Copies of this chain bind each other. A is one copy, B any other.
Amino acid sequence: MDRPLILVCNDDGYKARGIRELASIAKRYGDVVLVAPTTGQSGMSHAVTLTNPIRLKQITIDGVISAYACTGTPADCIKIALNQILDRKPDLIVSGINHGSNASVSLFYSGTVAAAIEGCLNGIPAIAFSVDDHSPDADMRLAAQYAGPVIENVLQHGLPAATCLNVNFPPIAPEECRGIRVCRQTMGVWKEEFQKGTDPHGRDYYWLTGAFSNDEPDGEDTDEWAMRNNFGAIVPIHIDVTDYQGLESIRKWKF
């Protein structure tokens, strides 16, 4: 039987430590093709490049069948991989390991998660991995320990229809970790503050900063609770975002 074909992407760019780690784990489970952004694309969400062309550059990565740097977004990377690079549909897409948490509502801003969602839209099992440490030399040991078993489970069991996984790890050493939990998405919000300044030419600017605020810190079934209590967190994300409960009440409105 053919080995599984695994497509690897991220949003930190092909040079990031996290994607190198993920590619080296993925190759234990299948033939790996890597298509990742040329440069960092953090915070790009599910953006696609419409007004400009994108370009591919073949690169070499140890143990990977073929690898490309793509000038587009993470979603562009998945699209061009599926349409221009791969000669068959991959069995799995893995995205990450992201440098920085994508738990709770951060998934909306994440290019890493968007790459997984793009795979899911195309009917391909997909997993986003992230570790809650933004530094370029983030400790990936814990994520690396669990990424293999998560990949193995998805290859073995598949995923529910229209569902992909958002997997996050706290910034701790493997020996401090209490295990991995399957969670729901924490409700919360980024309390944004802008750093306002004046540039050298006398013009005002605003620079986004801010801190995550957890609306349900006691929610023991949430991903944020898991992370804060030294667990890895798996959230299954559904790509049908209809509020089915809301449908009936809104149907009573008069227009």
* Chain A residues proximal to chain B, CB less than 8 Å: 40, 42-56, 75-76, 79-80, 82-84, 105, 107-109, 114, 117, 121-123, 146, 149-150, 153, 157, 159-160, 162-163, 165, 179-180, 182, 184-185, 187, 189-190, 192-194, 196-197, 199, 203-208, 234-247, 249-251, 253-255
Contact = CB atoms under 8 A, between A and B. Distances in A.
A84 B209 CA distance: 13
A238 B108 CA distance: 12
B246 A236 contact: yes
Question: 5 shortest A-B CB distances, which residue pairs?
Answer: A53-B205, A238-B243, A45-B46, A236-B246, A236-B243
Question: Of A82, A157, A163, A165, which is in contact with the most chain B CB atoms at under 10 Å from its CB?
Answer: A163
A109 B238 contact: no
Given A107-B241, A157-B249, A236-B247, 8 more contacts: A42-B50, A45-B114, A47-B109, A54-B205, A159-B250, A237-B242, A238-B242, A238-B243
Nearest to A44: B47
A138 to B, nearest CB: 17
A242 B159 contact: no
Given A109-B46, A236-B247, A180 B55 contact: no
